[in-house]
Structure 1
Amino acid sequence: MKIIVSGGGTGGHIYPALALIRTIKQKHPDTECLYIGTEKGLESRLVPRESIPFKSIHITGFKRSLSFENVKTVARFLKGVSRCKKIIREFKPDVVIGTGGYVCGPVVYAAAKLHIPTIIHEQNSVPGLTNKFLSRYVDKVAICFESAKSFFDEKKVVLTGNPRASEVIGEKRRGVLSGFGLKTTLPTVLIFGGSRGARPINEAVVKSFSNFAQKNYQVIYATGDVHYEAVKKEIALIGEKGNIKVVPFIHNMPEVLRAVDLVVSRAGATTLAELTALGLPSILIPSPYVTNNHQEKNAKTLLENGAAFMLLEKDLSSAKLVSLIDKILLDREQMEKMQAAARKLGIRDASWRLYEVMENLAAKAKS
């Protein structure tokens, strides 16, 4: 099978696409994949590293306010569609999938107009502008949250989950904690604020250090590269604590997630897919700076199902954070209830569900 994949802008759109390609390649090494992204986006750096053929188009997103820039964006979109049609005719894909971000617009639209089977993958509980637009033209809409179904034509919708979930599943590896200089026998919470970190979370966590030091659990805290030095200076004033490990970034996140008992994080779709696949309880602090406030809506899905607690950034404080961590890590019954609830929401075979949809569409087109 020949597949064109497109997704860009943020890791939340790119990582699921890469996870899907990796899974397909493992089981079907003869599958040919082509990735279409923007020339300056994160995908232009991440995709070639995976030795996946990459072609770029020039496209920008729409401004949400009235702006002359939107006229230019329409022109770029039409030019992008023309280039994508050329790429598609040359590559001759059996199916085209878009995993989000404005770069998907011309790619998936061009494929639909050329009568190539098309799918969009929506990671969030509330779709973005591009996927709302494309949903009118595609054959299938793959979703990760049941609540996203109401935004699309029900006949097109299929619940597949997020392919990233398939990459984190595995045996619990407590030994990973030794690499942080921590004990393998104590309950452990991982705290992070996304790849770049989050200042409000950093401030609350640093203020909690003295409190954490007295607890019968341990803390791994990833500050984000941008904030690491500032946090280290503040820690120096308080003094190092034996049950707390501070790092700028975690490169082996799947292994670390399999070693910990609780996660405190933002509520990005990829993170939530990983947490639920592993059955990990969480305390979610949604970013208030995202489109359509989708992180809060993502978090509410886990909250309403008993898999997480939600703490809004405006309500975040050291006292509230420590209290919620205590409530989970120091109460085995509470933790086990949340583990079961998270596991119930998790879709561990997401990549295969998505691949099956693609395979069926391609077969139907050939028949």
Structure 2
Amino acid sequence: MMQHHNQTPAERRPERQGQPLSVVLAGGGSAGHVSPLLAIAAAIRKQQPGAGIVAVGSRGGLEETLVPAAGHELAFIERIPLPRRPSADLARLPVRMRQAVTTAKAILNNAGADVLVGVGGYVCTPMYLAAKSLGVPIVIHEANTRAGLANRVGARFTSHVGTAFAATKIRHAHLVGMPMRADIAGLDRAGARAGARERLGLDPELPTLIVTGGSLGALRLNTAVSGALSALSAAGIQTLHITGKGKPVLNDDGTTLAAPLYSQREYVDTMADVYAAADLLLCRSGAGTVSEVAAVGLPAVFVPLPIGNGEQARNADELVRADAAVLVADGDLDAAWIERELVPLVLDGPRLEQMGAAAARHGIRDAAERMADMVFAAGGTPSA
């Protein structure tokens, strides 16, 4: 196999010269991996409609529903977390990894893969090792400011590495932005506002706060907002509260919380409408959310998730320093903070306009296309 490493896909597979590229995309588990994977796949298909697309994930992840819904073939590989300390799992790691690499090689060979694209997550490590062994070019996208272990391993095998943030430290990093859905990347907030508010059941004219903790919800945000409803409604601010699936905000008697100018939903699947309808977004600062609000020019108050190594705070740092967003620590967010700090901000139209413009200056709308160009370059096929 080693003799193939410096050959182009066409040289390795001469029978496929002139045929569309075959691309395998690996990653999954969370929306933070699946969303950019699907955006890159869509950009590849837009430039080369006949391109072969196979996604690789693990059972039980979001990819199990989202990838087939997008019309792509999905293959599975065992999730292999890398234990941080001695354990039985660590002792079994070499055998499990060899088995996973064998599965990964079969997936790449069955797809006739010209390029492997990895977006991070447990499935990527064996996919990168298999691609390296088979001489399949590798393209990587790293979504976080702190690069994950799998992508740091993969970056040893390729110079085609795109990052969502300029601050990300990983070998061969090229800033490309965060690949995102076309309806968000192309959103005209002002032009879409009236229709978005109508679809979300909101008044077309009132100052509008939208709160979301992501698909899983955020208890801290839910509790703080529910305690500040009287202050929000007294100020004439309408609030759409996206609470998270299975996490409605209830009264003590078990009924759904209600208040003037307030509505709640467990989930909204049209985030482009949320971004268009909001004057201000109160949210966590996952990499995808930070990148999307910047791309569409939406002012935000970020409440970083207080776990891990401070990744979410780092994600928000560039926009906060640019006065495009406000950051409040999870432990500091309560009803009193909302009444004292957030209510005046929602009502300050000129400041929100300045914040939105600053966000847009840091946003990147064509990240998916940039990644597709990287895929075509790695595969030796010019982009359209």
What TM-score results when the alignment is normalised by the length of structure 2?
0.88
Match of 1:38?
58
Match of 1:357?
374
Matches of 1:97 and 1:237, distance apart in 2: 47
Match of 1:158?
174
Residue 192, structure 1, aligned to residue 209, structure 2: no
Aligned length in residues: 358
Alpha carbons of structure 1 residues 257 and 99: separation in structure 2 relative to 1, 3 Å: same
Conservation of the 8 A alpha-carbon contact between 2:298 and 2:355: yes
Q: How does 1:10-49 map to 2 (within 5 A)?
A: 10-49=30-69
* 1:34-58 deviation digits (Å, cap 9, x = unpaired): 1111133221222122221111111
Match of 1:177?
197
Select the residue among 327, 330, 346 that pairs with 1:310: 327
Relative to total residues, which structure has the larger helix share, 1 or 2?
1
Matches of 2:93 and 2:182, distance apart in 1: 36
Matches of 1:24 and 1:35, distance apart in 2: 13
SS for the counterpart of 1:322 is helix
Conservation of the 8 A alpha-carbon contact between 1:117 and 1:139: no
Matches of 1:88 and 1:183, distance apart in 2: 51
Residue 330, structure 1, aligned to residue 347, structure 2: yes
Match of 1:288?
306
Matches of 1:167 and 1:134, distance apart in 2: 30
SS for the counterpart of 2:140 is strand
Select the residue among 92, 105, 108 that pairs with 1:72: 92
Matches of 1:286 and 1:334, distance apart in 2: 22
* 1:303-354 deviation digits (Å, cap 9, x = unpaired): 1121111111111111212333234322222112211111011100111111
* 1:42-99 deviation digits (Å, cap 9, x = unpaired): 2122212222111111132123333221222332222111111122123222211111
Matches of 2:163 and 2:119, distance apart in 1: 10
Residue 270, structure 1, aligned to residue 294, structure 2: no
Conservation of the 8 A alpha-carbon contact between 2:197 and 2:273: no
Residue 103, structure 1, aligned to residue 120, structure 2: no
SS for the counterpart of 2:157 is coil
Alpha carbons of structure 1 residues 31 and 364: separation in structure 2 relative to 1, 3 Å: closer
Question: Deviation of residue 132 (structure 1)?
Answer: 1.8
Matches of 1:238 and 1:357, distance apart in 2: 49
Alpha carbons of structure 1 residues 112 and 305: separation in structure 2 relative to 1, 3 Å: farther
Q: Match of 1:278, as an amino acid?
A: V
Conservation of the 8 A alpha-carbon contact between 1:180 and 1:245: no
Conservation of the 8 A alpha-carbon contact between 2:232 and 2:343: no
Conservation of the 8 A alpha-carbon contact between 2:250 and 2:256: no
Match of 2:12?
none
Conservation of the 8 A alpha-carbon contact between 1:283 and 1:311: yes
Conservation of the 8 A alpha-carbon contact between 1:19 and 1:167: no
Conservation of the 8 A alpha-carbon contact between 2:251 and 2:257: no
Q: Match of 1:78, as an amino acid?
A: R
Match of 1:348?
365
Shift >6 Å, 4+ stretches = 235-239
Match of 1:135?
155
Matches of 2:128 and 2:94, distance apart in 1: 16
* 1:107-159 deviation digits (Å, cap 9, x = unpaired): 122112222111111111111221122221223211011100xx222xx2211
SS for the counterpart of 1:97 is strand
Residue 88, structure 1, aligned to residue 104, structure 2: no
What TM-score results when the alignment is normalised by the length of structure 1?
0.92
Question: Deviation of residue 294 (structure 1)?
Answer: 0.8
Unpaired runs of 5+ residues, structure 1, are: none
Conservation of the 8 A alpha-carbon contact between 1:176 and 1:256: yes
Q: CA RMSD in A?
A: 2.0
Match of 2:272?
254
Select the residue among 223, 231, 235 that pairs with 1:215: 235
Q: Match of 2:58, as an amino acid?
A: T
Conservation of the 8 A alpha-carbon contact between 1:165 and 1:277: no
SS for the counterpart of 2:301 is strand
Matches of 2:55 and 2:255, distance apart in 1: 48
Match of 2:14?
none
Unpaired runs of 5+ residues, structure 2, are: 1-20
Conservation of the 8 A alpha-carbon contact between 1:206 and 1:235: no
Matches of 1:239 and 1:130, distance apart in 2: 43
Residue 120, structure 1, aligned to residue 140, structure 2: yes
Matches of 1:216 and 1:328, distance apart in 2: 13
Conservation of the 8 A alpha-carbon contact between 1:279 and 1:341: yes
Alpha carbons of structure 1 residues 275 and 235: separation in structure 2 relative to 1, 3 Å: farther
SS for the counterpart of 2:228 is helix
Alpha carbons of structure 1 residues 45 and 239: separation in structure 2 relative to 1, 3 Å: closer
Identical amino acids, percent of aligned pairs: 30
Conservation of the 8 A alpha-carbon contact between 1:59 and 1:73: no
Matches of 1:320 and 1:67, distance apart in 2: 44
Matches of 1:162 and 1:28, distance apart in 2: 21
Matches of 1:258 and 1:73, distance apart in 2: 47
